[in-house]
Amino acid sequence: MEHDSSNLDLIGAFRVIRQRAPVIALCCILAAAAAFVLSKRQQRQYTAAAQIMFRNSQLDQQAAGLQVVSQVNLQPQTDTNLTLAKLPRIATETAAALGHGLTGRQLTNAVSVTQIGDTQLARISATWPDPTIASEIANEYARRVIADSQQSDANYYSNALQALDLQYNALTPAQQQGVEGADLKDRTTSLQILSQLQSGEVQLEQVATPPSGASSPRVRRNTILGAGVGLVIGLALAFLLQRLDRRLREPSDLERVYGVPLLGVIPESAALRRAPKSSSTLAPSEPEIFGLLRAHIRYFNVDRELRVIVVVSAAPGDGKTTVASNLAMAAATVGSHVLFIEADLRRPIAAKVFGTDAEPGLSEVLLGEETLESVMKRVNFAYRNGESIGLDVLVAGGVLPPNPPQVIESNAMFALLDGARRDYDFVVIDTPPLVLLPDAFPLLRQADGVLIVSRLGHNRRDVASRLRETLDSVDAPVVGVVANGYRPPRGTSAYGYGASYRYNYSHYANGASLNVAGEETENGTANREATRRQG
């Protein structure tokens, strides 16, 4: 269970990244562009480096014939030499020697002294806008470090010799001729030899040359780093927006909000938005999806007969009419006697959708001006292999009443539905948005089933919750919800939604089962045929 939960969380994270990809990409581009522009506007800096070596003084002592105490770890001596090389007076002396208006503080910030690996070599790097001056600073600074070390050594030996002379002169003539005098003379001789051999513990190993290219700004590196920072910001912003977003974006969101099965996933399709728009054909390349939706409605409700289906939505633009019309046409393709009723008496569009006359229609029948037989329109469309399929369409009509709820709630409407239930195998009723208008309320209890259509990324959670409360308040027989406008990840199809999201609905009437991909067991196929023959 924990493994499955982790997988679902990971899938959800990738889903957020896919949905918010434009935001993430924009953050990356803006951050990279900002880093690029700032890098380009920075002054170019050049770095020159000289190398010096800290010598081991024990070698000179050995050459002078002095006894040397073995020292395994030379790192403390190297650290001391590095600290001495970083003294502010070295920078001040270098600035005074070079001129160019340089100051000791400037050179302290411009020069760095670092050890090279675990060796006794050190690198003196100088960074300056002029490559020639940068090399001059590095070389002069190195010379000043060497001179300072030599002066320090000279002062040391001079003071040591003076101390020995004072000790020797303090002896009596007899002591000077004795062992003590001889020992002081030997030490004096050794120090004199050592002072002559000692050329300083620091030597110049490599001079600095003017660099050919700038060391900063590094435009390419900064741009890449900027893009990386933008990616992090974009991801954080994407998940923040997702958390604050109140819109329903995934089919699974609809199932959770409405508390009913997800019966169909309709992909975002320009062809589907245009179709049918005429009576020539079912929606191009999409008939299987609506055939699958019809099968789900039927098989997920095997314990009751569904002849009259009311299609509702929370708000305009959900694609309710598109789903309702194509569902009716899909039912007609399997031989059902189908009636499509447009119960939207405010903004009717069925006549345009099916390519038929806009009047007369339902309003004239309910007002007693026409009979149902006289206004019914037969719409034929081509299916497979040029086969002509037809269904009956009852458009809203040309005379729209000023009080649609009262007209829909009339006895004439109830009588019309009773007759349609008796004469047709399948009746699909298109209605106005239920949250905004109360027109469809009377139909909710008269229908055998209510189908909710919601466009992903269009409805908000609070609006969907309000629709659910409305349906619950009248005890509407909701059969399920349809997710419209689904945008599957690249390389996948809406047909595979059920597998990729682990939905697997089943029904257990007569041993039949049907999963979301539309696959049936052998017993399920036989029962389907038997049910069709009985209908």
Q: Is the pLDDT of residue 533 over 50?
A: no
For residues 244-257, average pLDDT: 81
Quote the pLDDT of residue 452: 92
25 or 189, which is more confident: 25
Distance CA 25, CA 493 (A): 24
Is the confidence at residue 170, as pLDDT, over 50? yes
Lowest mean pLDDT among 77-81, 185-189, 528-532: 528-532
Check whether 233 has a pLDDT greater than 90: yes
Residue 400: what residue type? L
Instruction: Return the pLDDT at 400.
Output: 82
For residue 535, pLDDT over 50 is answered with: no
Q: What is the pLDDT of residue 424?
A: 92
Give the architecture (CATH level 2) of 46-206. 2-Layer Sandwich (3.30)
* Beta bridge partner(s), residue 450: 310, 478
With a pLDDT cut of 70, the percent of the chain lying above it is: 80
373-380: long-range contacts, CB 8 A cutoff, minimum separation 24? 379/279, 379/354, 379/355, 380/279
61 contacts: CB under 8 Å, gap ≥ 6: 68, 194
Q: Is the pLDDT of residue 97 over 80?
A: yes
pLDDT at 44 over 60: yes
**Sheet containing strand 202-206, strands side by side:** 111-115, 121-128, 46-54, 202-206
Residue 5 has a pLDDT of 46
Alpha-carbon distance 478 to 327, whole Å? 16
User: Is 179 or 417 the better-scoring residue by pLDDT?
Assistant: 417
Compute the distance between CA of residue 504 and CA of residue 262 in angstroms, rounded to an integer. 10
Q: What is the pLDDT of residues 332-366, one digit of tens each?
A: 888 889 999 998 888 888 888 888 888 888 988 88
Rounded Cα distance between 400 and 246, Å, is: 36
Residue 288 has pLDDT above 90, yes or no: no
pLDDT category at 274 given cuts 50, 70, 90 is low
Q: Residue 472 corresponds to which tokens in the numbers above?
A: 């619950």
Cβ proximity of 462 and 246 under 8 Å: yes
Question: Looking at the domain covering 251-490, what would its CATH class be?
Answer: alpha beta
Question: What's residue 523's pLDDT?
Answer: 36
Domain map of the chain by residue range?
A: 2-42+219-244, 46-206, 251-490
Residue 63 has pLDDT above 50, yes or no: no
